[in-house]
Amino acid sequence: MTQQPAALGRAWHDYLKHVGTVVANSGISGEPIEVMSCNVDAFERKVDYEGIVGVVSLSPEELRSWIAENRTDDGSTLAAQALMQQR
């Protein structure tokens, strides 16, 4: 999305689809995570935002390959991908 939804006269929820809810870490600190889906034309990378030091952009096919090759073990990513496969 190159413009903010409000600038287009639409709210953020017009662009997002709720896929489901997951708790990727069911331990003491496990928190529900709402999984959303949207189309993104572009995004701004922010260095060290929320402790994130890197971002990798993958197509759905590339993500499936990464998972098959054990290149990612992030519980939130794996849970979100499992939900997306059910769509």
Domain edges within the chain: 5-85
Q: What DSSP line would sit under 25-44, residue for residue? A: --STT---EEEEE---S---
Give pLDDT, residue 8.
Answer: 57
DSSP state of 87: -
d(CA 71, CA 27): 24
pLDDT at residue 76 in the model: 87
Residues in the chain: 87
Quote the pTM value: 0.68
| Mean pLDDT per 10-residue section of the chain, whose length is 87 residues | 55 82 79 87 76 82 95 90 88
Work out whether strand 17-22 and strand 33-37 pair parallel, antiparallel, or are unpaired: antiparallel
Name every residue whose Cβ is closer than 8 Å to that of residue 43 and which is 6 or more positions away in sequence.
none
Structure tokens at 60: 């759905």
Give pLDDT, residue 63: 94
